[in-house]
Structure 1
Amino acid sequence: MSSVNATSSVLDQYQIQPRESKGDELGKNEFLELLVTQLNNQDPLSPQENGEFIAQLAQFSTVEGIETLNSSMNSLVGGFQSSQALQASSLVGRSVIVPTTVAQVDTQSTFKGSMNLPYYSTNAYVNVYDSAGSVVNRVNLGAQQAGSVSFMWDGTDSSGNKLAPGTYRFEAEAYIEGEPRALNTFLPANVDSVTLGQNGGEMQLNLAGIGLVPLSKVQVIGQ
């Protein structure tokens, strides 16, 4: 505030009418005009001290630097938004893999997913639930080493009957050191639409059978 008040007093002294600028801020053009006017109207017998002159030049450099930074940031934001739009258009209709327990399944094809196994397990398996919450089948995987473990489900119930397409829930478990432990599952989903991030926010994917998921949660982008 002190620098603004000082500028106003100098303007009054030399009877300069400042041009309007956004937000009542002194722009670099106004600042330069003020500086030149000061030099033209200074007392020849008592010229401005070098230190004061250098200080004003430093202020001018700061004002110009801030304007350049703002311009660069606006260009950067515009480029980021354009990149987001291009990326969004390429994602719609494709399949992605995200950490979730729910997926929309076409039971006419083999469904593939994976689980994250932190330690060796003597027996790993995946329970499959229908939309009503009933267990319809179990995918037994047997003993598995630590790491990413893939599983497949053929879309049938425990009696071998083909089930209807729809939303199913997958719960992975494994016996580790004799105790059952729930595991994270990673399942595929189709991208129905994309919501671009606002004000620097993250892009959101609208996934079939799941809903909105941040782009940062996507593990793999498929075909």
Structure 2
Amino acid sequence: MTTAVDNTKSSDYIKSLQKPTSGKTGDANTGASSLGKDSFLTLLVTQMQNQNPLDPQDNSQFVAQLAQFSSLETMQNLSSSVDAIGGMYQSTQALQASTLVGRTVVVDSGSTYLEGGKEISGSVSLPDTSTLTTVKVYDSKGNLVRTLDLGEKKAGESAFTWDGKDEEGKGLDSGKYSFVATGSIGGKSTTAKTYLADKVTSVTMGTAGSPMALNLADGTTVSLSKIQKISL
């Protein structure tokens, strides 16, 4: 007389995999835990051990399950490799960015930090020829302290230098100063982009979804992509 094998073991094991498990990431809606490759293989072995000898599992189904297991393992290994490469890339970026600390960079910015007694260099980017080009300098309180007259400038970048003094020739205190450049193009006043020199004080490591950034002396933060020039 043949004794039938209890087929409830396999289904019980499947149900146990679907129960929420503390410390595991699961589906927020169903509460089911993630089915990893180890659980998948255990499930496959359990099915083989508990199949009905009078009605065994079809070979083609086992082959299909093995193929799924192989595909799952390959995807997980690939994901681990990509994560490792991403970590190495971020570390390389961090080393490169750390060499910029203490150095002066020219960035696409409307403000910079003035160290008392020193000059500020920058440039104005014009889309077309400007018959009258000016750069107005404001202090941290928004007060206009200096207007630089650059005269007529052609399309492209035009360099300028501010000596750190006000209209009366008095040296200004150290701090953050903003720059607004305008040009008269075709008879209309047009705001122009400014590129200013500033010192890098530290580097902020990027997190998931955000790039690495440079912290400047004027208190602003810019991405590496905004750097135009690097000087000693």
1:76 is displaced (CA, Å) by 2.7
2:155 to 136, 146, 162: 146
In structure 2, what is the Cα distance between the partners aligned to 1:90 and 1:140? 36
Counterpart position of 1:104: 113
Counterpart position of 1:213: 222
1:187 is paired with a residue whose SS is: strand
In structure 1, what is the Cα distance between the partners aligned to 2:34 and 2:161? 64
1:119 to 113, 117, 128: 128
- Cα deviations by residue, 1:121-152 (Å, 9 ceiling, x for unpaired): 11212122334433333222221111112111
Q: How does 1:1-223 map to 2 (within 5 A)?
A: 11-12=10-11, 24-32=33-41, 34-35=43-44, 48-223=57-232
CA-based RMSD of the aligned residues comes to 3.3
8 Å contact from structure 2 (residues 109, 196) kept in 1: yes
In structure 1, what is the Cα distance between the partners aligned to 2:138 and 2:43? 76
In structure 1, what is the Cα distance between the partners aligned to 2:43 and 2:138? 76
- Cα deviations by residue, 1:88-120 (Å, 9 ceiling, x for unpaired): 422221222222222112353332101110111
In structure 2, what is the Cα distance between the partners aligned to 1:137 and 1:37? 81
- Cα deviations by residue, 1:175-205 (Å, 9 ceiling, x for unpaired): 1111222212111111111221222422232
Q: TM-score, normalised by structure 1?
A: 0.77
8 Å contact from structure 2 (residues 10, 46) kept in 1: no
In structure 2, what is the Cα distance between the partners aligned to 1:221 and 1:9? 70
Structure 2: unaligned runs, 5 residues or longer: 1-6, 26-32
Counterpart position of 1:4: none
Counterpart position of 1:3: none
Greater Cα offset, 33-42 or 169-178: 33-42
In structure 1, what is the Cα distance between the partners aligned to 2:8 and 2:79? 28
The amino acid across from 2:10 in the alignment is L
1:9 is displaced (CA, Å) by 6.3
8 Å contact from structure 1 (residues 105, 167) kept in 2: yes
In structure 2, what is the Cα distance between the partners aligned to 1:174 and 1:98? 20
- Structure with the higher helix share, 1 or 2: 1
In structure 1, what is the Cα distance between the partners aligned to 2:98 and 2:117? 29
2:178 is paired with a residue whose SS is: strand
Structure 1: unaligned runs, 5 residues or longer: 1-7
In structure 2, what is the Cα distance between the partners aligned to 1:164 and 1:36? 77
Given the superposition, is the C-alpha separation of residues 9 and 109 from structure 1 closer, same or farther in structure 2, using an over 3 Å criterion? farther
Given the superposition, is the C-alpha separation of residues 131 and 68 from structure 1 closer, same or farther in structure 2, using an over 3 Å criterion? closer
Counterpart position of 2:28: none
